[in-house]
């Protein structure tokens, strides 16, 4: 249960928000640790797609989280083409 799967930016943002709250941090407090504005943390958690990788990695770091990449587990091979 402590492993959370993120297949898109929104899920990722949601995970980060949960983690931050669990850590009892405000967006501003978190941002301060990693030198990001509260507004930037907000965008990240909102799942905006154009947020930069560095922003994500910094947040993960501050929250003591790590990223794991693995083969897609369940169903969901899905037709990629359909998404575009």
Partner DNA sequence: ACAATTAATACGCGATCGCGTATGTTGACA
Partner DNA sequence: TGTCAACATACGCGATCGCGTATTAATTGT
Which parts of this chain interact with DNA (CB under 7 A)? 20-21, 26-28, 31, 35-40, 42-46, 48, 50-52, 55
Task: Quickly count: other Cβ atoms within 10 Å of residue 11's Cβ.
Answer: 13
Report d(CA 64, CA 20) in Å as an integer.
10
16: part of which helix (H) or strand (E)?
Answer: helix 9-22
> Per CB under 8 A, does 73 bind its own copies?
yes
Residue whose CB is less far from DNA, 3 or 81: 81
Closest of 44, 42, 65 to residue 54, by C-alpha: 44
Interacting residues with its own copies (CB under 8 A):
2-9, 12, 15-16, 19, 33-35, 48-54, 56-57, 60-62, 64-73, 77, 80-81, 83-84
């Amino acid at each position: 249960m402590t492993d959370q799967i993120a297949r898109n930016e929104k899920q990722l943002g949601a995970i980060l928000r949960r983690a931050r709250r669990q850590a009892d941090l405000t967006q501003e407090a978190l941002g301060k640790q990693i030198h990001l504005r509260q507004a930037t943390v907000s965008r990240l958690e909102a799942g905006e797609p154009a947020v930069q990788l560095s922003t994500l990695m910094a947040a993960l770091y501050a929250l003591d989280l790590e990223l794991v990449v693995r083969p897609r587990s369940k169903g969901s091979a899905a037709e990629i083409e359909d998404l575009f």
